[in-house]
Amino acid sequence: MKLKLLAALMALGLGAGQHAAHAAVTQEMLDNAATDTKEVLTWGMGTEGQRYSPLKQVNTETVKRLVPAWTFSFGGEKQRGQESQPLIYNGKVFVTASYSRIFALDASTGQKLWKYEHRLPEGIMPCCDVVNRGAALFDNLVIFATLDAQLVALNQDTGDVVWKEKIDDYHAGYSATAAPIIADGLLLTGVSGGEFGVVGRVEARDPKTGRLVWMRPTVEGHMGYTYDKDGKATENGISGTTNQSWPGDLWKTGGAATWLGGTYDKRTGLAYFGAGNPAPWNSHLRKGDNLFSSSTVAIDVKTGKIKWHYQNTPNDSWDFDGVNEFITFDMDGKRVGGKADRNGYFYVNDASTGKLLNAFPFVRKTTWANGIDLKTGRPNFVPENRPGDPTEGADGKKGSAVFAAPGFLGGKNQMPMAYSPDTKMFYVPSNEWGMEIWNEPIAYKKGAAYLGAGFTIKPLNEDYIGALRAVDPKNGKIVWEVKNNAPLWGGVMTTAGNLVFWGTPEGYLKAADAKTGKVVWQFQTGSGVVAPPVTWQQDGQQYVGVVSGWGGAVPLWGGDVAKRVNFLEQGGSMWVFKLADIK
Ligand code: CA
């Protein structure tokens, strides 16, 4: 059957026949993915993560003629959050779905070529819905991570499993939801599980075999390792200094999960991973900065060592997490990186040294700090707005509650922003919300939630929570915004057609003029969009694709906001659009 299908596709001039059958995806192709308009080879539409396409067939003039080309349902009874960014290569779409599924589709018709459904055990512990954010391509493989903390590599043409490796023990709270990235010929992955006291780390593997090459912990005090061909481990230096920023034994279950994956810039040779919240949430138990939690960590891919780190929220007490993507770009003749942190501040750091160059709020309300000191790189904390120590409470069971903004779901969460080298602006899917939060006593227990905090997320405004914002990284100005009633949870893409695309939980894929923010197109996809759009050109036609399916952390953790948006329906499909009159 498979041979027949392949023959049929080749006869039609599609798929394998079109692009020199089975041309292997190489590092060189991935290094140039940002300017490759024929395919989408990596998460971030380029390893740097800018999510910018030079395509302009679809532009502010023509976008009104953008109509559906095809749609594909993920089927089954498995819906929930669909946060996946599709990849496009060799006439095929590779798209992951909820519950650790992946599909290969014909990119011009949407016809299913194969699917792989990972067999998930009972007892997995994903904190924030059964999502997956995408795959990686290398050689003839498509590789993705699963909710039971495994990596699976499949043959791009057949969907057959080529290798499968366990990252860690799901019974201890480990899971994996991020798209892996390929950097300098290595497959780089992180771990999820910061709410269960896992130990965050970045691992490098041989993408063709799954063999471990190095491992770098993102909690200060833990040893890094390199591995030889037989799997023998050699110590490769401790991350930081044991007990320097962590008291007692808490670093042993310190969190700092690298759950959103990373970006890579071949010009610096560095991979940039966000490291999440320190565990537990109750900050009074862990006096100190708690490196490398709530930080960007830049890792030299060749050595597996931390070249620099920048901590957005020292001694994080709000689950501000710090995992958000670090996107490299050029500013004032320098290679720098931008990050819109969950804590509500946008940071610009030197991409080679980590030196803080600029920091400004991109949301309207931040209670926890009055700005970031550009000299020291540290936040100016507002001490009275830190949730209180339960041991100082009347009964020792609950510390004083505070109202904090942003809430822990963040000024921006997992949904990736985009950067346009044309307008020199970032397009940030942001949210305005806060939370009541208090601390409670807690002790680590394997596989149990390790928070030591209670909370309720609350909206700040009656008329909107979400706002897509055009942000100037040089002066910190919000140039324009498009408000949205529900919290934004999908990623953003921008194009040389002077367009910005993003999705809404209300089900719309929207496009706005990148310079002015005027909404010029929208389409109702039938369920909430919580995934980033992509675009590519095939046979002279520009396509725009996005996954639709409401879910993610908001319905599960969103408190009063979850109640406000509980009318939204789940789904699971991919939509692809093209201009109506291009033949
Ligand atoms: Ca967290």
- Cα gap 151→171, rounded to integer Å: 16
- Confidence at 16, pLDDT banded by 50, 70, 90: very low
CB 482 within 8 A of CB 467: yes
Q: Is 310 helix (H, G, I), strand (E, B) or coil?
A: strand
Helix (H) / strand (E) containing 10: helix 2-11
Question: Looking at the predicted structure, is the pLDDT value of residue 249 above 80?
Answer: yes
SS3 170: helix
Q: What is the pTM of this model?
A: 0.95
Q: What pLDDT, on a 0 to 100 scale, did the predictor assign at position 289?
A: 98
Average pLDDT along the chain: 95
Whether the predicted pLDDT of 569 surpasses 90: yes
Is 319 one of the annotated active-site residues of the chain? yes
DSSP three-state, residue 536: strand
More reliable by pLDDT, 140 or 5? 140
Distance between CA atoms of 151 and 179, rounded to whole angstroms?
10
CA 362 to centroid of ligand 1, rounded, Å: 20
Q: Residue 13: pLDDT above 70?
A: no
Whether the predicted pLDDT of 314 surpasses 60 = yes
249 vs 78: CA distance, rounded Å: 40
Question: Residue 128: which H helix or E strand, with range?
Answer: none
Query: For 52-72, what is the mean pLDDT?
Result: 98
Kindly list the domain boundaries of the chain, sorted by start residue: 29-579
**Percent of the chain having pLDDT more than 90?**
94
Reference 157, options 34, 39, 9, 276; nearest CA is 9
Element (H or E) spanning 556, and its range? helix 553-557
Residue from 31, 36, 148, 319 carrying the catalytic annotation: 319
Average pLDDT for residues 24-43, to the nearest whole number? 97
Q: Let me know: does 494 contact 514? Beta carbons within 8 Å.
A: yes
Q: Which CATH number fits domain 29-579: 3.40.190.10, 3.40.50.150, 2.140.10.10, 3.30.9.30?
A: 2.140.10.10
pLDDT at 99: 98
Q: Tell me, what's the pLDDT at 21?
A: 54
Q: How far is the CA of 304 from the centre of ligand 1 (A)?
A: 24
Q: pLDDT, tens digit, for every residue of 222-235? A: 999 999 999 999 99
| Burial of residue 475 (number of CB atoms within 10 Å: 0-12, 13-18, 19+) | exposed
| CA atoms of 105 and 172, how far apart (whole Å) | 35
Q: Give the other-Cβ count within 10 Å of 517's Cβ.
A: 16
How many angstroms separate the alpha carbon of residue 3 from the centre of ligand 1? 46
Mean pLDDT of 474-499: 98
Confidence bin at 4 (pLDDT 50/70/90): low
356-361 sheet: strands from edge to edge: 327-331, 334-340, 345-350, 356-361
For residues 284 and 305, the answer to whether their CB atoms sit within 8 Å is no
143 falls in which pLDDT band (50, 70, 90)?
A: very high
The backbone torsions φ and ψ at residue 172, rounded to the nearest 5 degrees and listed phi first, read -90, 5
Q: Looking at the predicted structure, is the pLDDT value of residue 1 above 60?
A: no
* pLDDT beyond 70 at 5: no
Closest C-alpha to 245, from 315, 309, 308: 315
Query: Does the pLDDT of residue 20 top 80, yes or no?
Result: no
Between 243 and 18, name the one with better pLDDT.
243
Is residue 138 packed enough to be buried (19+ CB in 10 Å), middle (13-18) or exposed (0-12)?
A: buried
Specify whether the CB–CB gap between 550 and 527 falls below 8 A. Answer: yes
Q: How far is the CA of 282 from the centre of ligand 1 (A)?
A: 12
For the segment 558-567, the average pLDDT, to the nearest whole number, is 95
166-180, 388-402, 439-453, range with the lowest pLDDT: 388-402
Ligand 1 centroid to Cα of residue 319, in Å, is 5
Is 14 a residue whose pLDDT tops 50? no
Query: If you measure from the C-alpha of residue 105 to the centroid of ligand 1, how many angstroms do you get, rounded to a whole number?
Result: 34
- State the pLDDT confidence band at 78, using cuts at 50, 70 and 90: confident
Beta strands 519-524 and 508-513 are antiparallel
Kindly state the average pLDDT of the residues 391-413.
94
CB 109 within 8 Å of CB 136: no
| Residue 406 pLDDT > 90 | yes
* 544-569 average pLDDT score: 96
Q: Collect all residues with Cβ–Cβ distance below 8 Å to 580 and sequence separation of at least 6.
A: 65, 66, 67
Tens-digit pLDDT profile for residues 345-379: 999 999 999 999 999 999 999 999 999 999 999 99
Write out the E strands in 15-98.
52-53, 66-73, 87-89, 92-97
pLDDT exceeds 90 at position 22: no
